[in-house]
Amino acid sequence: MSQLLVRFPLPDHAVADGYAFALSHDGQGVAQHGMAAADSLPLADTHEVIGIVPVQALSWHALQLPKGSLASPARTRLVLEGLLEEQLLDDMETLHCALQPEASVGQPVWVCCCRLDWLQQHLEQLRQAGCEVQRLVPECAPLPLQELPEAAQQQDTLQAIGDGIDGAWWLRRGHALSQGEAAPGLLCWPLPAPGTLEPDPLLPAWLAQAEPGRIQADAAVAQRVELLLQQPVQVRHPAERWLESLSSGWNLSQFSLANQPADRWKRLLRQGWQRFLQAPQWQATRWGLIALLLVSLLGLNLLAWQAGQRLEQQKADIDRILTSTFPQVKLVVDAPKQMQREVSQLQQQHALLTGHTLEGRLAAVVSHSPEAELQQLEWDGHVLRLKGLALSADQSAAVQSALADAVVQVRQDGNDWLLETRP
């Protein structure tokens, strides 16, 4: 899994030159390093972005946590504020604190502090550039307090760090930082200026005379250190130190800077999308998806055109059927409605002419006896009785003849005529 290590500049330092970074594909060696602006960092092949916090910006405090301190992050933060209030000059609300990995109650632990606004500023600047930081790792961390002094004594190291931007510094880690001191720790102090003849009071004499392999220096300050110590040193690149810092297990992304699970999923999706858009190995896939999208759009347009053609043909067929069936229709506006209206008119005419409806039968009776007087109509739900309708013999015969094939039976009952549906 590729890791991108981005070192934050020191507080109150400008980022005009960008961020120092190192890219590692296996967590062991450095594949690429340099300086780049936030929006120019190599994110294409990166699976994890790790922020490297400069050691000069951190302060370390040895504490012993009381019982119940680790019940919740909010509780732990309150306990740390109470324990550190007298040790720090700054307001605790302006500081970010982090516990050492695998901290336990009743055991001495390290607490790391730095400026909160400074961290948030760089995290937000990187986030806006599409570089979401998953972890915050100190550039160098002290040895665990639980380790035995005699075992950790062998890990005492002296390093000269500097990149020409943040100055040059001595970095000392180990158990024997001062005479009689048994607890491990970390010291960082400015490297003496070139030409200084007076010995450094913070530089132990035994370590100044140590084997060259025990003294390490960044390439930018190696020559300066050799002149000061009058002995060769082991030259290293700062990126190598950053990779080593990952093995400490420290993660300063705690409390208010802790990454939530939902945020991690969003971040992973965003990073995956960015890698897909930028990574060279996905170029063929990107072009394939673009081609597929274009083919799909063309296919949809073709289907829409074909559907439109079929619709126009169906409309033309309906119009033709309307005009051929009803020649009196000269202008087709809405063929279905016009056809329905013409059919309704035909049905009404047919009913009046043939008497296929009850109204039609009544109209037929009245039409054959225009001079007859109708006294009363009675309807019982099945039979319509026409009372007092006196018809002559010829009129009665004409009515019977006109309605002989109708579905409504017409019969005479004295001076009444009965209209009823045939069974």
Q: Please name the residues in contact with 88: beta carbons below 8 A apart, sequence gap of 6 or more.
A: 59, 95, 113
Question: 281: how many CB neighbours lie within 10 A of its CB?
Answer: 10
> All domains of the chain, ordered by start, with CATH?
3-278 (3.30.420.380), 355-421 (3.30.1360.100)
Query: pLDDT tens digits, residue range 58-68?
Result: 999 988 899 88
Query: CA 239 from chain center: how many Å?
Result: 32
The b-or-e profile of 43-56 (16+ CB within 10 A means b, else e) is bbbbebbbbbbbbb
Pick left, alpha or beta for residue 145 (phi over 0 → left; psi -120 to 50 → alpha; otherwise beta): alpha
Between 421 and 286, the higher pLDDT residue: 286
The beta strand positions in 273-362, using DSSP E, are none
Mean pLDDT of 24-44: 87
- What pTM was estimated for this model as a whole? 0.61
Question: 23: how many CB neighbours lie within 10 A of its CB?
Answer: 21
pLDDT given at position 50:
93
Residues in the chain: 423
Residue 155 pLDDT level (bands cut at 50, 70, 90): low
pLDDT given at position 183:
46
Instruction: Tell whether the model's pLDDT for residue 228 goes beyond 90.
Output: no
Cβ atoms of residues 245 and 52 within 8 Å: yes
> Can you list the alpha helix ranges (DSSP code H) found in 355-403?
358-367, 393-402
Distances (CA, A) of 45 to 274, 275, 280, 282, 412: 10, 6, 9, 11, 103
Residue 152 pLDDT level (bands cut at 50, 70, 90): very low
Cβ atoms of residues 214 and 207 within 8 Å: yes
Query: pLDDT tens digits, residue range 314-362?
Result: 888 888 887 888 788 778 788 888 888 877 777 666 554 444 555 666 6
Cβ atoms of residues 224 and 122 within 8 Å: no
Between 382 and 317, the higher pLDDT residue: 317
Cβ atoms of residues 46 and 2 within 8 Å: yes
Rounded Cα distance, 408 and 423, in Å:
9
Rounded Cα distance, 96 and 254, in Å:
9
Rounded Cα distance, 23 and 68, in Å:
40
- Facing residues of 160 across strands? 170, 217
Instruction: Tell whether the model's pLDDT for residue 260 goes beyond 70.
Output: no
Measured at the CA of 90, the angle between CA 87 and CA 93, to 5 degrees, comes to: 110
Closest to 136 measured CA to CA, from 256, 41, 240: 256
Maximum C-alpha span of the chain: 153
Mean pLDDT of 386-394: 73
Cβ atoms of residues 354 and 390 within 8 Å: no
> Can you list the alpha helix ranges (DSSP code H) found in 3-162?
73-84, 116-128, 149-152
Instruction: Tell whether the model's pLDDT for residue 241 goes beyond 70.
Output: yes
What percent of the chain clears pLDDT 90, i.e. is strictly above it? 21
Residue 179 pLDDT level (bands cut at 50, 70, 90): very low
Task: Map tokens 């970095």 to a residue.
Answer: 171
**End-to-end C-alpha distance for the chain, whole angstroms:** 90
Mean pLDDT of 101-117: 90
Show the tokens assigned to 89.
């000059």
Task: Map tokens 């639980």 to a residue.
Answer: 146
Query: pLDDT tens digits, residue range 157-176?
Result: 788 998 766 678 888 886 55
DSSP secondary structure, 219-247, as one string: TTTHHHHHHHHTS--EEE-HHHHHHHHGG
